[in-house]
Structure 1
Amino acid sequence: MEQLLSLYEKWKGQQPAKVDKLAGAGSNRTYYRLCDADGESVVGVIGTSRDENHAFTYLANHFTHRQLPVPRILAVSDDGMRYLQSDLGSRSLFDAIQGGREAGGRYNLEEQELLRRTIRELPNIQIRGARGLEWENCYPQPEFDMDGVMFDLNYFKYCFLKATDLDFHELKLEANFRLLAKDLTEEKMDSFLYRDFQARNVMLDADGNPHFIDFQGGRKGPVYYDLASFLWQASARYSPKLRQELVKEYYEALKNYTEVPSIRHFTHRLNLFVLFRTLQVLGAYGFRGYFERKKHFIDSIPPAIENLRELLAMNVQGDENDEESAPMAFPYPYLMDLLQRLTELPQFAPTQETKKQRSDGYKTTDSTVYDANPKDGPATFSKYDGKGPLVVRIFSFSFHKGIPEDESGNGGGYVFDCRSTHNPGRYEPYKQITGLDEPVIRFLEDDGEILTFLESVYQLADHHVERYMQRGFTSLMFSFGCTGGQHRSVYCAQHLAEHIHEKYGIEVRVCHREQGITQVLK
């Protein structure tokens, strides 16, 4: 510590007025916030590996030269064991999206926007950051290769798979591991593989713009690894729909930096890395959880297994004539069979919550809407039957300003009165914000009345949507009213819209009338 203070004094010309030790991460490095008398701060780092420190300081200097959003290196000790870097603050993306994570993957609009900003910035550091980079400075190896992949796969085998007591044939598994490793490394890319791209390693400035830290393990490698690492992080519990949206965000952003393959090829390659990354993290969770008995990692195993279960459920061949349908039949039959048996072990049985999540996505194939009695004679049909596809319109409004008009000309629909639930508008902190803002969302959900109210609404709405889809109707309307059309009605309208869109995949048009906000979910 004294040597770090000496480094600060040599750089600043004075001793720091205040020193605070920062919370540790997964590495052996220790971090301190050093402040001068005016409150200006830098971060001091004490490492345990000269080579690892050198990798970080070299990469940080290189990325700074490329004008990328990373901390600047201010000073490095003569022995390379300590350095000072600019202070990016204390707000990480991990902290900023805590609410959605703790809500089981229900991320609000603000949290989703932070995720989109981050994923759009990733190609910047991967592609622009790789230009002119001298790879021999990377630690512990300069490139993503077969040896590194096999190490991680065997880490999964020894630290997780063997701990489950599941019987398997070592030689057959090894053969499939080698095939997977060959496929993962066959597409050479001159891009920067961050290696540890996760929400904890993204710092947000006052405007919510992402900055990157802890990239000292990076190396030359394919772009797919970091995307899989970020979006399939077990504890994040991103919904399949949100993942798909973020993959598209990344794919479109990547086009700004380099030539991209077809979406079919891109998705197929990404799926390989999702499989690899899932096995890799299970190995880490097994070691940290089963052997080191760290609760956080034990708790992370079930959602990681659920990720694996979802991946196996998608293990089917895509349509060769469909550009966006990526082949998902992994050519590793023994490995796939083994992983299927792994997910079926009693200790990994899905919870009621995951069963409910997997039940979403209702699709009707029933063309026989009614069972007719012979005495009834042939049925006649409404002029609205069979027109489809269904578009659902959902409004929030204030009862003081009247119920929204039905512009479809069909009449009907539902109007729900939210005024029986606890009103956040009665309290000063919520008067200037709406049901789309996190503080109001947390207020309503912590109170719980609104959730009970919506359970009945969802049940009624689901039945109605399904029947309208079966009959080919084109329009259905829901409206939610409250006193001011600002808090409870906005929350209910937005959540019903997202519920219907995620479950049925149909177009939903949302209008928060009193707030002047419209949105189309397609």
Structure 2
Amino acid sequence: MQKLTKLYADYKGEEPVEIEKLPGAGSNRQYYRFVDKDGGTIIGVVGTSRDENHAFIYLDNHFSMRKLPVPNVLAVSNDELRYLQTDLGNSSLFDAIKGGREADGRYNQKEQQLLVKTIRELPKIQIEGARELDWTNCYPQPEFDKEGVLFDLNYFKYCFLKATGLDFHELKLEANFRMFAKDLTSEDCDSFLYRDFQARNIMLDENDNPYFIDFQGGRKGPYYYDVASFLWQASAKYSFKLRRKLVYEYYNSLKNYVEVPSERHFVERLSLFVLFRTLQVLGAYGFRGYFERKKHFLDSIPPAMDNLRELLKLNPDIFPYPYMMDMLKKLTEMPMFSHIEEPAHSRADGYKITDSNVYVAHSQDGPATFSSYDAKGPLVVNVNSFSFRKGIPDDPSGNGGGYVFDCRSTHNPGRYEPYKKLTGLDEPVIRFLEDDGEILTFLDEVYKLADHHVMRYIQRGFTNLMFSFGCTGGQHRSVYSAQHLAEHIHEKFGIEVHVNHREQNIQQILLKK
């Protein structure tokens, strides 16, 4: 706080007469309102991630240069952990449309006009904002891609779907997820994907003109995503009629900036992203609600499930993923319990199983539907990362074969503040470890041992092998090592590899080639 106050004093040439700490948002950033002797105000920001701050500062300067409605960054500390920006006041779109939200989606004319004005401004930042933008400054990644989509879909699977207790075939679902991810990323779009476009991140000036904030997670990507994110936000409870009107307003506004696809194509593509966003938010609600026991997120699940039910009524040709859609249908048919009493580690907080019918394979499901793996098939390798403080991972196969490697002899990025909130999957940590080089020398020897062992297990017809990497917290070195060994084995031998970053609650399946 002292450093932020000094940044203010250096910029203004005087000390503030008052400092007000503002309510926290969803991130780790802290916001303060500085007041000068004339009553003028400036917002001061303290962040924990230099890379995230850098992304916001770069994007804000770029958008300001293109005369887009965003706050202006006024001063930045040398380490980019603190900065000052113009004060847009306290009036957000979220607060301005509170009445319609509390009236169960019955928005009055003024509230609807605010929504129309906002959605018509969205293409401006998406298209104008993308012009001459250097995407390498985006955080945590420059582009919406298949890997990011699969991460979010698996977040839904592990944090929501499994918590319901619904039985499903993981390989069949994974195959449909991959086809879904391919379709979502199939259309090239040179536009700015805001990613967190929601009413809380829209500020209104005295004339109710919208200003955009909190776009530091943006990247290159399809403009459909933000429309789906904004209009299908579960708690907003927009009616079908109002949504249709706002989609129409957005589509016509988009025409002012780019050549648009046909209405039918636009609506069908948008439907894909609505489904994706619905699964995305259910994953978040599941984690925050079922596991962290936060009531707000538990209360958000029923309206999100209502959104999902509405999507399932659309033309099934829009969603050519038979197994996934069959599973989602069964999910929506599971009656919710009215009260949650079981502890966070127990099964099925909110739903109970009502349908145990076996899904009949469909030719569109992909190769996993007809997988030869039945627990007696070819070699499957399990690769884990873990913290030694919490014990060595169990062997799920029961065979007890494999290796445990200790990564603690290598340089630990977790000792340094910029990396404490990141993992070995994040680019800054990867760069740190690879620039240092110790982890590469360590893995060279691991690869030699692993290659020989995998080859002999394949030759002998064994079905299971496990490699585990431990470090102090199971966050940086072990995660990096496990991920790279898994990808190395998968690339070299083409076999199925299961990756489990235990302390990060991240799982991945690299399917047999």
TM above 0.5, yes or no, is yes
1:331 lines up with 2:293 in the alignment: no
Question: What's the secondary structure of 2:336's corresponding residue?
Answer: helix
Output the amino acid matched with 1:290. Answer: Y
8 Å Cα contact 1:33/1:43 also seen in 2: yes
Output the amino acid matched with 1:184. Answer: L
* Range 14-23 or range 191-200, more displaced: 14-23
Match of 1:151 in 2: 151
CA-CA distance at 1:3 after TM superposition: 0.4
Match of 2:335 in 1: 346
CA distance in 2: counterparts of 1:174 and 1:308, whole angstroms = 19
Match of 1:214 in 2: 214
Q: TM-score, normalised by structure 1?
A: 0.64
Match of 2:118 in 1: 118
Output the amino acid matched with 1:42. Answer: I
Output the amino acid matched with 1:345. Answer: M
Match of 1:95 in 2: 95
The answer for unaligned runs of 5 or more in structure 1 is: 318-327, 350-522
Output the amino acid matched with 2:334. Answer: L
Deviations 1:65-111 (A, max 9, x none): 00000000000011110000000110000000000001100000000
Match of 1:284 in 2: 284
Output the amino acid matched with 2:111. Answer: E
CA distance in 1: counterparts of 2:336 and 2:323, whole angstroms = 22
CA distance in 2: counterparts of 1:294 and 1:137, whole angstroms = 34
CA distance in 1: counterparts of 2:315 and 2:279, whole angstroms = 16
1:72 lines up with 2:72 in the alignment: yes
Match of 1:310 in 2: 310
CA-CA distance at 1:25 after TM superposition: 1.1
Q: Rg larger in 1 or in 2?
A: 1
Match of 1:471 in 2: none
Pairing of 1:197-236 with structure 2 (within 5 A): 197-236=197-236
Match of 1:175 in 2: 175
1:34 lines up with 2:34 in the alignment: yes
Question: What's the secondary structure of 1:346's corresponding residue?
Answer: coil
Deviations 1:322-342 (A, max 9, x none): xxxxxx3x1000011100110
CA distance in 2: counterparts of 1:163 and 1:337, whole angstroms = 18
Q: TM-score, normalised by structure 2?
A: 0.65
8 Å Cα contact 1:190/1:222 also seen in 2: yes
CA-CA distance at 1:348 after TM superposition: 7.2
Match of 1:108 in 2: 108
Output the amino acid matched with 2:28. Answer: N
Match of 2:50 in 1: 50
CA distance in 2: counterparts of 1:110 and 1:17, whole angstroms = 37
Percent of paired sites with the same residue: 73
The number of residue pairs the alignment matches comes to 338
CA distance in 1: counterparts of 2:256 and 2:164, whole angstroms = 45
The answer for unaligned runs of 5 or more in structure 2 is: 339-513
Root-mean-square deviation over aligned CA pairs: 0.9
8 Å Cα contact 1:302/1:348 also seen in 2: no
Match of 1:193 in 2: 193
Match of 1:463 in 2: none
CA distance in 2: counterparts of 1:307 and 1:4, whole angstroms = 43
8 Å Cα contact 1:235/1:300 also seen in 2: yes
CA-CA distance at 1:56 after TM superposition: 0.2
CA-CA distance at 1:294 after TM superposition: 1.1
Output the amino acid matched with 1:49. Answer: S
CA distance in 2: counterparts of 1:221 and 1:334, whole angstroms = 27
Output the amino acid matched with 2:276. Answer: F
CA distance in 2: counterparts of 1:346 and 1:202, whole angstroms = 36
Deviations 1:330-360 (A, max 9, x none): 10000111001101111179xxxxxxxxxxx
Runs of 4+ deviating beyond 6 Å? none
Match of 2:504 in 1: none
Deviations 1:292-336 (A, max 9, x none): 11111111000000000011012345xxxxxxxxxx3x1000011
1:242 lines up with 2:242 in the alignment: yes
Output the amino acid matched with 1:164. Answer: T
Output the amino acid matched with 1:331. Answer: P
Match of 1:162 in 2: 162
8 Å Cα contact 1:105/1:239 also seen in 2: yes
Question: What's the secondary structure of 2:3's corresponding residue?
Answer: helix
CA distance in 1: counterparts of 2:29 and 2:155, whole angstroms = 23
Output the amino acid matched with 1:116. Answer: V
CA distance in 1: counterparts of 2:75 and 2:180, whole angstroms = 43
8 Å Cα contact 1:35/1:42 also seen in 2: yes
8 Å Cα contact 1:305/1:348 also seen in 2: no
1:260 lines up with 2:260 in the alignment: yes
Deviations 1:375-434 (A, max 9, x none): xxxxxxxxxxxxxxxxxxxxxxxxxxxxxxxxxxxxxxxxxxxxxxxxxxxxxxxxxxxx
CA distance in 1: counterparts of 2:19 and 2:330, whole angstroms = 52
Pairing of 1:494-505 with structure 2 (within 5 A): none
Pairing of 1:358-369 with structure 2 (within 5 A): none
CA distance in 2: counterparts of 1:6 and 1:198, whole angstroms = 33
CA distance in 2: counterparts of 1:28 and 1:35, whole angstroms = 23
CA distance in 1: counterparts of 2:94 and 2:8, whole angstroms = 29
